[in-house]
Structure 1
Amino acid sequence: NQSIVFTDKSTSYVDIADFVELHVMEKSSKETTKETLKWVHIAISNAKRNLLGNYHKIKRKYLQLYLNEFVYKLNRRYFGEKLFDRLIIANITGLGK
């Protein structure tokens, strides 16, 4: 598994290359930014608000763990009442490992 991050050429991304195997930067057009990246920007904003609201101070050492937790919750937000059943299946089949 190779970790690849695609970003626009914003200067706000500090040292991403230190955390991933490949960092691909591409300048976005207005159309790309408005349409394609709309939900990416929303997810990033939600992640920042979630991390700052819950942890107040984030250490670089644990950043990936914080992001993993956010993505885990984001991916399961629509499971609703099926969440328990999915957890049972994941544990029985070994997917939870």
Structure 2
Amino acid sequence: MEVVPSLKRKTLIDFAKRQSHLGSIISSDVYRSYRKLEDKGYKHESQLYNPKKSPDHLHWLDTVLSNAKALVGGIFHWLSSRHLQSYLDEFCYRFNRRKHEGDLFSRLPHHCIGVKTITHRKLVEACMQSQELFV
């Protein structure tokens, strides 16, 4: 998942280039901006979304979005647009490991050992720099 600035054609095409291979099949609703994907080398399947007539079309998208909304409402209660990508990254991490919840705690020491330690000073400096970007 990635925060994008708009749903304009160029934005969606750039996203598709970063996240998929040419020739990939992209399923979507009938939003106009998706139409240009075929001109750029993707196979595009669009369908007016109706879960009663076609329950499998975009089923996983509905599942992921409803789980993301539940995470926001149940844990965060509110989102800051400034940190939206971080929230999405955490959601994806949790969603991709949803069937291995029992392993999350036991894997924590493994991941802590595998990363470079950051000092408090460097953490504060990084936070200050990121704040300057959003002012």
Taking structure 2 as the reference length, what is the TM-score of the superposition?
0.43
The answer on whether the counterparts of 2:2 and 2:85 sit within 8 Å (CA) in structure 1 is: no
Whole-angstrom CA distance in 2 between matches of 1:81 and 1:53 = 20
Match of 1:15 among 3, 6, 14: 6
Code of the aligned partner of 1:37: L
Higher Cα Rg: structure 1 or 2? 2
Q: How does 1:18-97 map to 2 (within 5 A)?
A: 21-22=14-15, 25=34, 27-29=46-48, 30=50, 34-83=55-104, 86=107, 94=114
Tell me which stretches of 4 or more aligned residues in structure 1 moved more than 2 Å: 14-17, 19-31, 80-92
Question: Is the 2:68–2:91 Cα contact (8 Å) retained in structure 1?
Answer: yes
TM-score by length of structure 1 reads 0.55
Deviations 1:14-68 (A, max 9, x none): 8356x9843663542458x621311211110110121122222211111111111
Unaligned runs of 5+ in 2: 17-32, 36-45, 117-135
- Aligned-residue sequence identity (percent) comes to 31
- Alpha carbons of 1:57 and 1:22: their partners in 2 closer, same or farther (altered >3 Å)? same
Q: Which amino acid aligns with 1:25?
A: Y
Structure 1 residue identity aligned to 2:6 = D
**Aligned pair count?**
84
Unaligned runs of 5+ in 1: 6-13
Alignment RMSD (CA, Å): 3.9
